[in-house]
Structure formats: structure tokens, C-alpha cells
Amino acid sequence: MNNLRFATAIHILVLTEKFKGQLITSDFIAGSINVNPVVVRREIKFLKEAGFIDSKKGKEGGIYLVKDSADILLGDVYKIVNQENVFGRMNHTNPECPVGKQMNNNLEKLFDDAESELIKSLNHKTLKQFCDEFQ
């Protein structure tokens, strides 16, 4: 689910950049992503709390980008939507086993290091740069 959350959040942000100056609805976004609008609204909440977007309520309402897309790092978006380590949970290992008793600590370090590298890589690209890849 976390992988879908990141992709959904990026899709939302790209749409807000591409339709800058317009209010876009969760129904419109859901149609672009091909998901239920409820999924979109959940991610909008996180993006709004992070200060990337804002919304206008009502019949003519929608969301819009409030932070400059050149100032939004993709790694920051990733961190907002991925509160858990992307690699998942640890096993319930046998504390009597010489390998089992060390496995979770060693995996946790491995996973944390890998995720740090992922975020560092994502932070080499801004939302603006990513949006520029679309025609």
C-alpha cells in the first residue's frame, strides 16, 4: 500500500502543477489516477498538512498547489506518505538461535540504510523537474 501512496501523492502534485491557477477536484484527480476519490482525498489530507497544497470548499471548490514546485523535493513527499519502513516488518525470530537473535537488528540497519539512500536519490529531483518530464 505504501508504494501506491507515494505514486498517488506524486500524481496529485503533478496535476496541481500542470493545472496551476485552477482548482482541481478529487473526482478529476481520481479519474486521472483511475482510483476511487476516497483514496485521493486521503492523500490530499497528508499533502495539505505538509503545506504543499490547499483547498477551497464548496461546489466550485478543489485543491491547488501553494508551495512552489521547484521547492518540493520528491524525497520529502516520500517521507510524508511513508511513515513505515518501505521494506516492511521484522520476523518473530528465535532468541535462542545465534542468527535469529541478531537478525532483526541487522535487518533494521540494512533497511534504514537502504531507505536513506532512496530518499537521498529522490531528493535530487524537485516536483518541478519531474513535471517538466511530462508533455
Per-residue pLDDT of the chain (135 residues; tens, 9 = 90+): 456 889 999 999 999 999 998 999 999 999 999 999 999 999 999 999 999 999 998 888 999 999 999 999 999 999 988 876 666 666 788 888 888 888 888 888 888 898 899 999 999 999 999 999 988
Alpha-carbon torsion, ordered 85, 90, 95, 97, to 10 deg: -110
* Domains of the chain with bracketed CATH: 4-132 (1.10.10.10)
Handedness of CA 87, 93, 97, 102 (dihedral sign): positive
Q: Are 131 and 14 in contact (CB under 8 A)?
A: yes
Place of cell 501512496: 5
> For residues 90 and 132, what is the distance between their CA atoms, to the nearest angstrom?
39
* pLDDT in the model for residue 72: 97
The model scores a pTM over 0.95: no
Place of cell 493545472: 19
* pLDDT in the model for residue 3: 63
Instruction: Report which DSSP code applies to 40.
Output: H
pLDDT per residue as tens digits for the range 29-67: 999 999 999 999 999 999 999 999 999 988 889 999 999
Q: Are 56 and 23 in contact (CB under 8 A)?
A: yes
